[in-house]
């Protein structure tokens, strides 16, 4: 009986941890990018300089294969920044950098 309660508590704590991680992920900044893209590099540097955590969404080098980028931003170019907490999608490295600096 006691071990059953302990196991329920353990499961509840485990679930809570996952739920907390889930919300942490949604409020984070997401950068759609690929490593060799010089515009993406500029944005990554600024995110580091501002000590901002972000999720890196690595996309194909082939623009026709960037389905999520197209869906989210209405165009295929990267970098694209998604700031879910502020419901913003920002396209173009210069605009993203300006957004990050004034956010």
Ligand X SMILES: N[C@@H](CCC(=O)N[C@@H](CS)C(=O)NCC(=O)O)C(=O)O
79 near ligand X, rule: CB under 6 A: yes
Residue 63 · residue 70 · CB < 8 Å: no
Residue 36 near residue 78, CB atoms below 8 Å = no
**39 or 99: whose CB is closer to ligand X?**
39
Q: Which is nearer to ligand X, 14 or 74 (CB)?
A: 74
- Angstrom CA distances, 92 to 13, 23, 97, stand at 41, 27, 9
| Total of chain residues touching ligand X, rule CB under 6 A | 10
Contact residues toward ligand X (CB under 6 A) are 37, 39, 63, 76-79, 92-94
């Amino acid at each position: 009986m006691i071990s059953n309660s302990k196991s329920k508590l353990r499961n509840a704590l485990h679930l809570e941890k996952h739920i907390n991680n889930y919300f942490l992920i949604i409020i984070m900044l997401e950068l759609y990018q690929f490593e060799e893209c010089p515009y993406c590099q500029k944005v990554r540097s600024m995110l580091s300089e501002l000590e901002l955590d972000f999720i890196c969404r690595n996309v194909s080098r082939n623009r026709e294969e960037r389905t999520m980028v197209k869906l989210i931003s209405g165009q295929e170019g990267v970098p694209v920044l998604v700031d879910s907490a502020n419901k913003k999608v920002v396209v173009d490295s210069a605009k993203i950098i300006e957004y990050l600096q004034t956010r």
